[in-house]
Amino acid sequence: MKPRKVPAAATAVLMLALAATACGSGGGSDDGKKVTVGIKFDQPGVGLKTPDGDYEGFDVDVARYVAGQLGYAPSDIVFKEAKSADRETLLQRGDVDFIVASYSINDERRTKVDFAGPYFLAHQDVLVRAGDDSITSPADLNGRKLCSVTGSTSAQNVKNELAPRAQLQEYGGYSECLTGLENGTIDAVTTDDAILAGYAAQDHFKGKFRLGGFELSDELYGIGVKKGDTELRSDIDTALRKMVLDSAWQRAVEANFGPAGYRSEPPPGIGAPAAETPAG
């Protein structure tokens, strides 16, 4: 069957209608495409979905900057929750285009996904109750209930290397760990210091917890992309370098971590192998 020809007048009307639709699209990209970004929804200061449906945190600021450099307007960005245990699956299935979710780069994860960056250097630490002076070193975690989230490597690192008799408790989110720490069913929460500082700075937690200051490991955050997508990874690296050079990176650090008194490390070498990035 031959394609039906459309009269010139009808074509003109159709083009005008499409142009009008584009002008009223709210400032999105010219082709109307969206970008779906995985972030954490429950990490204050890092990635948080607020009660009014907005998103805030350092990773959110990074995601918005990168998306902008890739050609997407703010209205083109769709944020999707990326829990620690789901991140590789989200990328492999194509449910997200990239993930900015306190995603530490390690060799095991590199077998499943690729990473742009790193764009942030954190240190694993523990959060304990402010009045608990019995935990002053990693060895003091032996026999204690140590909480982290399912899919995170933090608690297992402590048990394997520093406190083999720690009692691991894995929950679905850090908010549950903090609730347990507050009511005494958990003795310590472990993850990256930036994440812990964000929680401790919340109004309803102020003065209740303290960071151990142990610096148990170096955690280099990368932006996860689908395995083999070298073009996107390279484009994101370029965007991250620009974010550092124009001081947007430093402004995001100060805006999200400054209120908690947390002092971040300088930006790591973006695009360099992990072994070449500066340690803390």
Q: pLDDT tens-digit profile of 214-273?
A: 988 888 999 999 999 999 999 999 999 999 999 999 999 988 887 666 778 899 988 765
Together in a domain, 110 and 167: no
Length of the chain: 280
Q: Which residue has the tokens 């032996």?
A: 142
Together in a domain, 69 and 128: no
Number of Cβ within 10 Å of residue 165's Cβ equals: 10
Q: Are 143 and 187 in contact (CB under 8 A)?
A: no
Q: Please indicate, yes or no, if residue 29 is contained in any of the structural domains.
A: no
Q: Please indicate, yes or no, if residue 239 is contained in any of the structural domains.
A: yes
Lowest mean pLDDT among 60-74, 135-149, 191-205, 224-238: 191-205
Cα–Cα distance between 171 and 161 in angstroms, integer?
21
Domain boundary among 217, 236, 252: 217
Q: Please indicate, yes or no, if residue 117 is contained in any of the structural domains.
A: yes
Query: Encoding tokens for residue 13?
Result: 């009307």
Lowest mean pLDDT among 26-35, 40-49, 65-74, 265-274: 26-35
Q: Which residue has the higher pLDDT, 210 or 110?
A: 110
Mean pLDDT is highest, among 143-157, 159-173, 218-232, for 218-232
Reported confidence tier of residue 10, pLDDT bands at 50, 70, 90: very low
Cα–Cα distance between 161 and 224 in angstroms, integer?
27
**Mean predicted confidence (pLDDT) in 8-33:** 45
Angle between helices 193-200 and 174-183 (to 10 degrees): 60
- Structural domain for 238, as ranges: 35-121+219-265
Q: Please indicate, yes or no, if residue 128 is contained in any of the structural domains.
A: yes
